[in-house]
Amino acid sequence: MKLLLLLGLVALAQCAIHRIPLQKGKSLRQKLKEQGLLESYLRQHPYNLATKYFPRRVASEPLENYLDDEYYGTIYIGTPPQEFTVVFDTGSSNLWVPSVYCSSKACNVHKRFNPVDSSTFIGTNETLYIAYGTGSMTGVLGYDTVSVAGIDVINQIFGLAETEPGDFFYYTPFDGILGLAFPSIASSGATPVFDNMMMEHLVDKDLFSVYLSRDGKSGSFVLFGAIDHSYTINGINWIPLSAETYWQITMSSVTINGERAACILGCQAIVDTGTSLLAMPNRALNSILRSLGIGSNGEVSCSDVNSLPDVVFHIHGKAFSVPPSAYVIEDSGYCSVGFQGMDAPTESGELWILGDVFIREYYVIFDRATNKVGLSRLP
């Protein structure tokens, strides 16, 4: 329908330019009625006059796919706007970018925010410290206008990095991070960007959705305030959160070839766009590698990939499979599994992180209105 409308507009424009007389034909309503499709079409596409004069608050932010390893988009801070690239991270809650106060070598190779150049900046004496699985930052907090996908969030609190120790952020293709998890885990009590979008009624629905492309292809995005149903033709499985901190859910088991391979007694999992791999407890990693017939180094012959079984995650009564084409990563002719060992137990059990290796298989909806995650198998 969108394509037909677009083509119609193009045709009208061409007629206007070249003064070609338009031929009056049957309307879409007439054609649908003749084919007995009008009633079902109107049910599926109800006409809402209000949307013509009060457009829906929906915004899509395209993401750059960097080697299937990191996905980042562009935001603007200040007046006039200063441009930055950030990871839209569902595994954290703070927004921060490098600042002119930072002398770390990581800051020197990235764009740095200068509060003096912004007429709307409001400074504070509050400090900020965030430690990630890789890398950390310290800085101060300030307020300014933040524009994300065309949505202007006034007086958004954010971090101005003063130090970025180590090498990790030095090598990243993005400048900073925009956290999309819950305010309960925000460092220094800073209100996350999406929470302000919701409170200020800047989005049509209190949710956002994510599509991550594979093989370095374009098309990745974060969609604020809506679900793109062209990505949900296989239906949506809704999973309640087990904690309103990260986007955390409960898994009942992980199976390979129908046999329980890990998470035997149940475990917790975080759906995290900011983690490249599938992270799991070291004991679970060793068990999965044994079930796959792969050595402890995780390396596999690239010619054997198609013979490996799916790894299946059982969540809320449904099975979510990840095929070897998704969990085996090829780099310069060498192949290895995209699994990573870690030990971070929680009060509710062992913790897994369902990172980009998992997310690329599904269109993921993060719903703050119902505190659920929606997973739809991609076509």
- Give one DSSP letter per residue of 8-23, joined into a string: HHHHHHHHHHHTPPPP
Are the beta carbons of 365 and 373 closer than 8 angstroms?
Answer: yes
272 catalytically annotated: yes
Structure tokens given for 322:
């990840």
What tokens appear for 127 in the block? 């400090």
The answer to whether residues 157 and 187 touch, using CB atoms and an 8 Å cutoff, is no
Q: Which of 175, 195, 206, 272 is catalytic?
A: 272
Q: Answer for the pair 321, 311: CB distance below 8 angstroms, yes or no.
A: yes
For 166, residues 6+ apart whose C-beta sits below 8 A from its C-beta are: 106, 135, 136
Residue 116's SS3 state is helix
CA distances from 107 to 60, 137, 173 (A): 28, 11, 12
Of 229, 207, 227, whose CA–CA distance to 44 is shortest?
A: 229
Q: Which of 68, 89, 195, 367 is catalytic?
A: 89
Note if 89 is an active site residue. yes
Output the CA–CA distances (angstroms, integers) from residue 167 to 120, 163, 303, in the order listed. 32, 12, 34
> 308, 328 in Cβ contact below 8 A?
yes
Name every residue whose Cβ is closer than 8 Å to that of residue 241 and which is 6 or more positions away in sequence. 247, 248, 249, 371, 372, 373
Of 257, 206, 245, nearest in space to 344 by CA: 245
Report the C-alpha gap between 99 and 112 in whole angstroms: 4
Query: What is the Cα–Cα distance from 262 to 285, expressed in whole angstroms?
Result: 8
Neighbours of 58 (CB within 10 A): 17
Q: Which residues are catalytic?
A: 89, 272
